[in-house]
Structure 1
């Protein structure tokens, strides 16, 4: 039986590919990356060319608001998003699909998108929940005081390479009823008009676009500091997986609202400094 591993970030893809190459698994098992952040932006009919092109237009407009981006980069973004629509043609019938995911909004919606896209194929599904795996193995890191503390991975991209094969051994079968429920849940998300989503207590919730504003303002100060530092702190302390691009967008919005003052240049981020106004 053909085996196809599906992950939802380039970091996860790179880790899996490196480990699988060292284990000589790439000869018999394939890795596919669904490269998108499903927590941000429109999801409306994303399983169709029309819906995907609408998302591409939104992403193009969004990126241009927050960072310098070349036409070449925009073309690349469009290419990998359109490639997601070809997923059914990449996986033959009677294959096994293993979904590597964490407990975060993007991955949670991503697995629903994937099983919906593949629902007409004769496939078996298994899942590897990296967040649950890190809890079960009681993974620890050292804090700034040098003490060992438990650490939970929110995404597959955070999985250390040395533990990839251990995580692979605890994959779980996805029943037909579970797969069907995920397909139905995707149909709900496919009709959603929300822009931002978060993961709370085992489910994905729609939230307002200003969801992270309070945290950004909390970590800003009365003295100018690098905006990248504020954004990095918010990312590190948040219980969500959120990218710096979206937080940069919110910093720009807070500047427009008069809640933050800036010096330097709005773009690129490294030249932007902010303080409370």
Structure 2
């Protein structure tokens, strides 16, 4: 089971642009085996080499972990933004001194009550297991990722400046809460707001819903403009910690960001929205009146002002069908 979880972790950490080439290569090798072109032994050897390369990517990612000599540690939410941040830091020549910690929780969905306790994580994993199709051995994975996150935070050296990146949401509060016993200088920067200030014009503008949408070049410009204005005071630090504790005490499985605060909303909050998007797509329906669920979910994600990912929409669509 641990091997299966390692494989899932390795594939989940890849972006779509990285994953597709591996899939093409695997399918090409299987095609050769199926058509009996070349020797079976050679094809199997190449597949094993491909496996070793893919699994070895996890070790390469370790170079981004906090190290004793690093000067800055960036804390980001989501693998998509983490990938852009790595490219931006490399492009600026900062990869040796700037390290990265990624929070992988999908904070808007699932129970958060008691997330920082084993019981709370167990309840959260049970909900994912019961409702989200992509969840697999959720509790084991949550525990491993949570403990790995704590270990990375502990590795941050005292002299390093910590920069917590946000984008119009509250999830950076969890990172700050987890650092409550660290003495590092901590700054908070809104990646979306900085890039919009730099690049938006009256005749051409983009409102980013989440930091994963920001291109690497724009992110580099944001990085070079970092100054001390985002540094948290003791009062700020205390306030943010208290805000996270309030959020993590809320019951419910769906949260939105509104008027600069996290609101817990009913689980069926987006059901009517899904039905409206279905009505919008009816003119394009084929296949004897049926519409592929992925088409509807893609439409919902594309027009939703909040970013909650595709898995929650898929869950609510199944509930509506039931």
TM over 0.5: yes
Shift of 1:34: 0.7
1:195 CA displacement: 0.8
Unaligned runs of 5+ in 2: 1-69, 283-288
What SS class does the counterpart of residue 37 from structure 1 fall into?
coil
Q: Is 1:115 matched with 2:206? A: no
Question: Is the counterpart of residue 103 in structure 1 residue 177 in structure 2?
Answer: no
Structure having the higher strand fraction is: 1
1:156 aligned onto 2:211: yes
Following superposition, the deviation at residue 138 of structure 1 comes to 4.0
SS in 2 for 1:204: strand
Distance in 2, Cα, partners of 1:254 & 1:157: 29
Note the C-alpha offset of 1:75. Answer: 5.3
- TM superposition outliers: structure 1 runs of 4+ over 6 Å: none
- After superposition, the Cα gap between the structure-2 partners of 1:188 and 1:76, relative to the gap in structure 1 and judged at 3 Å, is closer
Confirm or deny: 8 A CA contact 1:130 1:154 kept in the other structure: no
Among 55, 76, 87, the residue aligned to 1:18: 87
CA contact 1:56–1:81 (8 Å) conserved in 2:
no
- Alpha-carbon offset, residue 87 of structure 1: 4.4
From the two aligned structures, give the one with the greater helix fraction.
2
| Partner-residue secondary structure (3-state), 2:109 | coil
8 Å CA contact 2:162, 2:187 repeated in 1: yes
Whole-angstrom CA distance in 1 between matches of 2:313 and 2:73: 33
Q: Secondary structure at the match of 2:306?
A: coil
Seen in structure 2, the aligned counterparts of structure 1 residues 87 and 43 have a Cα distance that, compared at 3 Å, is farther
Question: Please, what TM-score do these two structures have when normalized by structure 1?
Answer: 0.79
TM-score (norm: length of structure 2): 0.69
Q: Which of 291, 311, 320 is residue 245 of structure 1 equivalent to? A: 311
Gaps of 5+ in 1: 141-147, 257-277
Task: Please name the residue that 1:193 is paired with.
Answer: 251
Between 1 and 2, higher relative CO (CA 8 Å, sep ≥ 6) is seen in 1
